[in-house]
Amino acid sequence: MIVKEHFVGTELAMNNAIVEEEIDFSCDPYIGLEFDTADEALQFYTSYANRAGFKVRIGQLYRSRTDGSVSSRRFVCSKEGHQLSSRTGCPAFIRVQINGSGKWVIDHFHKDHNHNLEISGENCTPTLQQKGGTVVSSLTEFTRRPRKKLLEEVNNESSCPFGIIDFKRLRKEELEGQPKTEPYVGQEFSSPNEAYQFYHAYAARMGFGVRIGQLFRSKNDGLITSRRFVCSKEGFQHPSRVGCGAYLRIKRQPSGKWTVDRLRKDHNHDLDSEKEGRAKGLHASNILNDDADNGFVNGDLFRIDNYPVPRGGRQNHIRNEWYSILLEYFQARQTEDTGFFYAVEVDNGNCMSIFWADGRSRYSCSQFGDVLVLDTSYRKTVYLVPFATFVGVNHHKQPVLLGCALVADESEESFTWLFQTWLRAMSGRQPLTVIADQDIAVQKAIAKVFPVTYHRFSLWQIKAKEQENMGLMGDGFTKDYEKCVYQSQTVDEFDATWNVLLNKYGLKDNAWLKEMYEKRASWVPLYLKGTFFAGIPMNESLDSFFGALLNAQTPLMEFIPRYERGLERRREEERKEDFNTSNFQPILQTKEAVEEQCRRLYTLAVFKVFQKELLQCFSYLGFKIFEEGGLSRYMVRRCGNDMEKHVVTFNASNLSISCSCQMFEYDGVLCRHVLRVFQILQLREVPSRYILHRWTRNAEDGVFPDIDSWSSSQELKNLMLWSLRETASKYIDAGATSIEKYKLAYEILREGGRKLCWHR
């Protein structure tokens, strides 16, 4: 299979500032070397390259998620990559990163090249000149040789509505009326129409056509904030297109003007000679009327280069070549794993989001799908692939994979399809709780697909919002805010402290705080602790399932091998815990009968949690404060600390017990306060209702204690199939290790087969 690459350039803000004398251009690069600017670092690396015998190209840049400023850049050997025949994939590069003091510091340096070096005195500093021969002015962004598409500028085939551009045909005299200047970053226009007409005229002189690319809207008022004009050969939807990366982007300024903030001039195809008189105009069927109020397009469909795009078309952040590679992989997996499931969202004939889960994940969901974490942390940074995972917590308190997805866009439609597909793959059994982002699109999708599921906001997004908003409010506010959120013990206390906080700092009208208060039940620990989350800490995010092995910047050709390695690594960790739980017994540290009972039932990881609570209970005192019939209440407080106390309620008629700390409701393991009351009541065994099956040693052994909870006979049948298949897989692996074990395994199978036939 031949996989095409999209090529784009990389951008750099260049200036011609003179390098200060204290920089020693005669030394070699080393980690920790500081520069005043990124340009200074480039000039230094270029000087080093001249002495060493190679040339430099400008590599990727990375931007801050907070303010969009450039946070790090790479300068690479000119033979890096394989886009041209002259390149050898050379790995040599330096990366500089801006630190807190504003300096640029080398934090990565790879010295070795994979090609011969030629000493040359030629200065190979990357520069760009205008036609007149003058050097581009300082702080002008320009494009270099094509590189793989950068994450922050993914522009897939599905286009947004174009809105307020007026597309009348540009006549020859109109083109001639445009000034014959080249576009540059910082160039200003009074309207998008003016910018388009300028770029169209420039394109006509250079010999390429122009199409309208993406537009972006404000989340606050829905107004268009920026838009892109691209080469007509951008994308791959039509045979005439070659994935050209040339484009110009304009951004609305507070003054109402529109300025060029991004520009890429390099094309990956030949340009026609200058044809001002024969510039391609847009046909009447392509005209988009100016509608500055709502930005809608007249008509249900419009065509671009004869390719139909639906009105209100959705963006797609998944590159074309991912579909063919992944679908081929999924089909191969289905031949090996009959439980493998995958689905592709189709929107108006276009492939969008992708979901998949193997048989092991589907079986794990039947046991550990009560708590679901949708990890979309790829959104923390610029990304190459929008890779998301569905993760649960197994009986060893390890993350367990419950499905994977590539998310085409972050719309309500996309997340609704994703949750519905996950539900279908997992036999329709809804989770008790979901940890996912707080975006409105995600909230609406969860409410639609999981109407009875509790939605808790992702911690990384909460922290990012706090960092973004609290930086302007001072340290005093931060301390008071954290005290209110993390130390409030009751709803009344939280409400009172929150109001004091708003009044003290004059923030009653702060939009962010208003929103967070309205959604407090989805993120404030006080409100979460009464809901089961399998003990996932409130102040920590669940570790990424694949860790650093697979992330949002993994290239396509490495994605599948890394995915399989990461999955196998996690499952090997689970097998080790299975082995340890089956073959090792933790040491008892008390003479309490409940400790022996729980050691026998729980996995090692869960027993450690229980044992810790049991040991701590000896540091607490309990007093009966209420009794009526079979109902009694106890005040349990820590010795020497009257402030740390909780109320435990016990019903003797049905042996039910609860604590105001709500640890069992949140973790599924009894707390120290309840265990102290058990000692007072001389209860020698934990009631079975407080031993959750999901935490036991036989959680995956085909034991279904809550058969009545399954919504259908088909759902239960699927569970039995997955359970038998998973057990059989382990049985086969063990039986195939030697001839002796094979013979034993075969005899056991034959005997089992006779029994199954007898039971019929």
Q: What is the mean pLDDT of residues 71-82?
A: 84
pLDDT average, residue stretch 325-349: 89
723 or 386, higher pLDDT: 386
3-state helix, strand, coil in the chain (%, to 5): 35, 20, 40
pLDDT at 123: 43
pLDDT in tens, 463-491: 888 887 877 677 789 899 999 999 998 99
- Name the band, by pLDDT with cuts 50, 70 and 90, for residue 532: very high
Mean pLDDT of all residues belonging to the chain:
79
Own/partner long-range contacts of 345-350 (Cβ < 8 Å, ≥24 apart): 345/408, 345/414, 345/417, 345/418, 345/421, 347/158, 347/314, 347/413, 348/310, 348/313, 350/157, 350/158, 350/316
How big is the CA angle at 257 (ends 255 and 262), to the nearest 5 degrees? 120
User: What are the backbone angles phi and psi of residue 186, rounded to the nearest 5°?
Assistant: 100, -10
**Residue of 313 and 323 predicted with greater confidence:** 323
Give the model's pLDDT for residue 280: 38
pLDDT greater than 50 at residue 204? yes
Domain 322-457 sits in CATH at 3.30.420
- pTM of this structure: 0.59
What's the gap between Cα 624 and its chain centre?
Answer: 50
Q: How confident is the model at residue 313 (pLDDT cuts 50, 70, 90)?
A: low
Residue 410 has pLDDT above 90, yes or no: no
Tokens, residue 255: 């003054």
What is the mean pLDDT of the segment spanning 680-705?
85
Question: Higher model confidence: residue 436 or residue 348?
Answer: 436
In this prediction, residue 519 carries a pLDDT of 93
Q: Is the pLDDT of residue 154 over 90?
A: no
* For residues 66-92, average pLDDT: 78
Query: What tokens were used for 224?
Result: 């268009």
Q: Which of 303-307, 351-355, 425-429 shows the lowest mean pLDDT across its residues?
A: 303-307
What per-residue confidence (pLDDT) applies to 68?
A: 61
| Residues 594-629: b if buried by 16+ CB within 10 A, e if exposed | bbeebbebbbbbbbebbbebbeebeebebeeeeeee
Concatenating the DSSP letter of every residue in 241-295 gives ------EEEEEE-TTS-EEEEEEE---SSPPPPP-GGG-----GGG-----TTT-
Residue 170 in this model has a pLDDT that exceeds 80: no
pLDDT at 57 > cutoff 80: yes
Cα–Cα dist 436/442, whole Å: 7
pLDDT in tens, 207-243: 888 888 777 777 666 678 888 898 988 876 666 778 8
> What confidence category does residue 701 fall into, taking pLDDT thresholds of 50, 70 and 90?
low
Summarize pLDDT for 132-146 with one digit per residue, the tens: 333 323 223 333 333
Per-residue model confidence (pLDDT) at position 567: 94
Distance CA 76, CA 59 (A): 6
336: left (phi over 0), alpha (psi -120 to 50) or beta: alpha
CA distance 93 to 99: 19
Rounded Cα distance between 260 and 202, Å, is: 14
What per-residue confidence (pLDDT) applies to 672? 96
The residue that leads in pLDDT, 174 or 357, is 357
> Higher confidence at residue 380 or residue 158?
380
* Token reading at 499: 């109001």
CA-CA distance, 532 to 495, in Å (whole number)?
24
Residue 273's pLDDT band, with cuts at 50, 70 and 90, is low
The answer, yes or no, to whether residue 168 has pLDDT greater than 50, is no
pLDDT by residue (tens digit) across 636-648? Answer: 999 988 788 999 9
Range(s) of the chain covered by CATH 2.20.25: 33-110
Q: Delimit the CATH 3.30.420 region(s) of the chain.
A: 322-457
What pLDDT was estimated at residue 162?
30
Pick the CATH number of 33-110 from 1.10.10, 2.20.25, 1.10.287, 3.30.70: 2.20.25
Share of the chain above pLDDT 90, in %: 39
pLDDT at 428 over 80: yes
Name the residue type at position 34. Answer: E
Specify whether the CB–CB gap between 355 and 425 falls below 8 A.
yes
Helix and strand numbers, DSSP H then E, in the chain:
19, 27
Amino acid at 728: A
β-pairing verdict for 433-436 and 454-457: parallel
CB-neighbour burial class of residue 436 (10 A; exposed 0-12, middle 13-18, buried 19+): buried
CA distances from 710 to 3, 422, 664 (A): 45, 17, 23
3-state secondary structure of 101: coil
> Which is more confident, 83 or 739?
739
Q: How confident is the model at residue 149 (pLDDT cuts 50, 70, 90)?
A: very low
Question: What percent of the chain has a predicted confidence (pLDDT) above 70?
Answer: 77
pLDDT higher for 252 or 676? 676
Instruction: Using the structure block, give the residue that is written with the tokens 């074309």.
Output: 320
Q: Is residue 707 very low, low, confident or very high in pLDDT (cuts 50, 70, 90)?
A: low
Q: Which two tokens stand for residue 484?
A: 């209110």
Look-up of token digits 């975006």 = 439
Q: What is the DSSP string of 154-183?
A: ---SPPPP--S-------HHHHHHS-----
At residue 310 the predicted structure's pLDDT band, cuts being 50, 70 and 90, is very low
**What pLDDT, on a 0 to 100 scale, did the predictor assign at position 319?**
85
Mean pLDDT, to the nearest integer, of 80-94? 78
The angle subtended at Cα 98 by Cα 97 and Cα 99, nearest 5°, is 115
pLDDT at position 541: 73
Report the range out of 142-156, 583-597, 736-750 with the highest average pLDDT: 583-597
- Arithmetic mean of pLDDT, 488-506: 93
- Phi, psi (5° rounding) for residue 365? -65, -30
Instruction: Report yes or no: 367 and 513 within 8 Å, Cβ to Cβ.
Output: no
530, 666 contact by CB (below 8 A) = yes
Give me the mean pLDDT over the 684-691 stretch.
94
